[in-house]
Amino acid sequence: MINFTVNPTLEFAFEWYLYGIGFIVFPLNLYTLYLVFSKTSKRSRTYRYFVIHIQVWCTLVDLHVGLLIMPMPLFPLAGGYCTGLLCRTGLPAHYLAELCYFLLCGTFFSMGLSIFYRHQLILPCGHWLRMGKVKLSALFFLFSIFTQLPSLTYLFCANDKSDYIKYLKENHPAMLWLTQKETWILYDPYAFPMRWIALEVAALSIILPLLYFIIATHLYRGISMATFMSIKTRTLHKRIVMVLIGQVLIFCVFLIIPLPVFIISISNRSNFDDDRKSLRNAIMINFTVNPILEHAFEWYLYGIGTIVLTLNLFTMYLICSKTPKHSRTYRYFVLQIQLSAIWSTLVDLNAGLVMPMPLFPLPGGYCTGLLCRAGISTHYLVVLCFFVLFGTFFSMGLSIFYRHQLILPRGHWLRIRKEVLSTLFALFCILIQAPSFTLLLGIAHDGMNIQYLEENHPAMLWLAKKDNWVVYDPNSLTLRLGCYEVAALSIILPTLYFGIALHLYRGISLATFMSIKTRTLHTRIVMVLIGQVLIFCVFLIIPFPIFILSMYTEQIGHEINLSLFAMLLLYSWTHSIVLIATTPSYQAAVSKSFHSLFSKFICRTVYDEESRTLRLVTKATSNEDILL
């Protein structure tokens, strides 16, 4: 149970990070509240109260986390201490933790409230999903209870410090320094209330994102088919719904994803080994020691490979056959993104070809896919995975650069000739593929792998029993250089892509030489591009700095790394869903396909029912003839 809080430097840094949230983010939230309250357009006067509701909950969370409570969690221990203003007043830590739970669950509720209201506003009168005010109020009340279940259950947790100290002495004697803190708290993760809270949080983590995304998608489709609206009103509603989808995506990434990781971290008994093991050996115990989790993750990779591959092929079919005529040239660049995503599905997303099993924070792992069984060196398979992954980075930039050049008027200083543009694309490709070229120069043979494990991670020597495995020395020149290159790309690419996308949006707004219809079309495409860049940053850019930090500091457990790796595999799926959901022609094709399948199913069911009825009538008639 050695934790970062034992290190006074990191503890001091984290405390100042919380101060930054309190003194920087909190004023920003107040300013946003002022803008929403006073600068909202007249057409959205009612809806602004729901936006204010979300903002108030976020402001309260930042106020308590950054100033009033300032919690210092001690994961994977189910406890921690706090140093905020309320903690110094002598209030019990149990009720302060309950307050944090209540505020966090309140943000879940406020997001759903906003989506439900917008959904009801769009539905036409007489729709079967349209509710009256009484039913809607009852639904909101039940939904608030549902989202607040973890905080309500938390009230029943034990609140006796003698029990906390007893639990520490029996299970984690090295953490008894915690009792010297002024305001601290600790729970038994295997007690009934904590297990029940874990189940409730896991249920919310699955149900809420699915529910919100389904409602948001139904909203977007309903607006597209709302013939009773004017074009201006429809455009306004579409813009609001796109903002809602972005909010849901941010909600899932920053609030939903961490919760299962915390639960796994707290509930995993391998984190609670005795203190005779060194930190280095203990932190290298990975899920692969557990055959059940290993088998479950392998099936997760199989599911990702088959489902995402099918979805990508279907998306490629839509791009090739259903793209509008005015976007014929642009579709080849979108197709290149999708083709790269297909390769990511086949290789990097482990669709039966490589099946990598990473062992972060150890810079290595093993694989069980078809290519591994074919006798190909694991080192070259790792290089291949990196090459395909960074190919998606290049494809994203290619699409954004092309759209940027298309929008710029002739004679603009940023307009580039075709010959120079091709050279620029080649140099950009080499720049992005630099980490995979650097990794290709790395040396990783079995003798060096085993020697590195024996000297640094003897607890991981079981890895040498695998058929296809690889381990790199994080202090080697090639790996350090590759990490520097990845870190540089993680900073440069998002800044570059967002800068070009925002310049695109501004250029379209000022493009007086375009007609209103053309400008609206370009604005929609640029908004989709911004959404794609956001997804790219969340699913592909964010995990890499954490992997690098994990390798060199060993302060990030394998649960977080594994969760981020699993999230990385969902990029292709998310990209395809957003592309289909934001393109009207693709939506129409998908709706038509589902409608035809549904019609065939209904016709088949009616035919079977009629056949069954006819057989029964025939049988009854023959029985009557026999009786006569």
d(CA 360, CA 471): 11
d(CA 49, CA 110): 11
**pLDDT value of position 284:** 38
Mean pLDDT of the chain: 77
Q: What angle do CA 105, 107, 111 make, to 5 degrees?
A: 120
Strands 356-358 and 364-367: antiparallel
Q: Is the pLDDT of residue 63 over 70?
A: yes
**CA nearest neighbour of 471 among 307, 359, 309, 621:** 359
Q: Alpha carbon 174 to chain centroid distance?
A: 35
**CA nearest neighbour of 391 among 428, 442, 419:** 428
d(CA 574, CA 532): 9
**pLDDT value of position 243:** 77
Structure tokens at 264: 């796994």
**CA nearest neighbour of 15 among 62, 66, 91:** 66
Q: Is the pLDDT of residue 187 over 80?
A: yes
Distance in Å from the first CA to the final CA of the chain: 87
Q: What does the pLDDT look like over 76-87, one tens digit per residue?
A: 788 888 888 888
d(CA 339, CA 146): 42
- Alpha-carbon dihedral angle through residues 538, 544, 545, 551, given to the nearest 10 degrees: 150
**pLDDT value of position 5:** 46
The arithmetic mean of pLDDT across residues 219-244, rounded, is 75
**pLDDT value of position 371:** 82
Tell me whether residue 533 is exposed, middle or buried, using C-beta atoms within 10 angstroms of its C-beta: 0 to 12, 13 to 18, 19 or more: buried
Q: Is the pLDDT of residue 616 over 80?
A: no
Residue 115: count other Cβ atoms within 10 Å of its Cβ: 23
For residue 559, the one-letter residue type is: E
Q: What does the pLDDT look like over 130-159, one tens digit per residue?
A: 888 888 888 889 999 999 988 888 887 767
Cβ atoms of 84 and 68 within 8 Å: the answer is yes
d(CA 553, CA 4): 11
Choose the weakest-confidence range: 23-37, 262-276, 491-505: 262-276
d(CA 443, CA 448): 8
Choose the weakest-confidence range: 204-213, 341-350, 566-575: 341-350
Q: What does the pLDDT look like over 365-401, one tens digit per residue?
A: 888 878 888 888 888 888 888 888 888 888 888 888 8
The arithmetic mean of pLDDT across residues 589-593, rounded, is 77
The arithmetic mean of pLDDT across residues 256-272, rounded, is 68
**CA nearest neighbour of 155 among 112, 194, 106:** 194
d(CA 122, CA 409): 38
Choose the weakest-confidence range: 1-15, 49-63, 171-185, 192-206: 1-15
Q: Is the pLDDT of residue 432 over 80?
A: yes
What percent of the chain has pLDDT above 70? 81
Strands 356-358 and 79-82: unpaired
Task: Give the pLDDT band (50/70/90) at residue 271.
Answer: very low
The arithmetic mean of pLDDT across residues 506-531, rounded, is 75
**pLDDT value of position 191:** 80
The arithmetic mean of pLDDT across residues 317-340, rounded, is 66
Q: Alpha carbon 259 to chain centroid distance?
A: 12
Residue 555 vs residues 104, 368, 416: alpha-carbon distances, Å: 26, 28, 46
The number of residues in the chain equals 628
**pLDDT value of position 272:** 44
For residue 461, the one-letter residue type is: L
Q: What is the DSSP string of 422-476?
A: HHHHHHHHHHHTHHHHHHHT----HHHHHHHHHHH-GGGGGGGGSSSEEE--TTS
Cβ atoms of 456 and 472 within 8 Å: the answer is no
Long-range contact list for 209-213, CB < 8 A, 24+ apart? 209/248, 209/251, 209/252, 209/256, 211/112, 212/111, 212/112, 212/115, 212/248, 212/251, 213/245, 213/248
**pLDDT value of position 260:** 77
The arithmetic mean of pLDDT across residues 558-563, rounded, is 74
Cβ atoms of 108 and 147 within 8 Å: the answer is yes
Asked if the peptide bond before residue 435 counts as cis, ω within 30 degrees of 0, the response is no
**pLDDT value of position 560:** 73
d(CA 106, CA 213): 19
**pLDDT value of position 551:** 83
Look at residue 258 and give its three-state secondary structure.
Answer: helix
The conformation of residue 69, written as its DSSP 8-state character, comes to -
**pLDDT value of position 4:** 40
State whether the Cα torsion 332-335-340-343 is positive or negative: negative
d(CA 358, CA 253): 22
List the strands of the sheet with 356-358, edge to edge: 356-358, 364-367, 469-471
**Chain position carrying tokens 């039940």:** 142
**CA nearest neighbour of 535 among 261, 238, 252, 202:** 252
d(CA 486, CA 438): 11
**pLDDT value of position 282:** 37
Q: What does the pLDDT look like over 448-472, one tens digit per residue?
A: 678 888 888 787 888 888 888 888 8
**pLDDT value of position 286:** 42
Structure tokens at 225: 């088919």
Look at residue 596 and give its three-state secondary structure.
Answer: helix
**pLDDT value of position 283:** 36
**pLDDT value of position 347:** 53
**CA nearest neighbour of 197 among 95, 113, 267:** 267
The arithmetic mean of pLDDT across residues 492-517, rounded, is 80
The conformation of residue 557, written as its DSSP 8-state character, comes to -
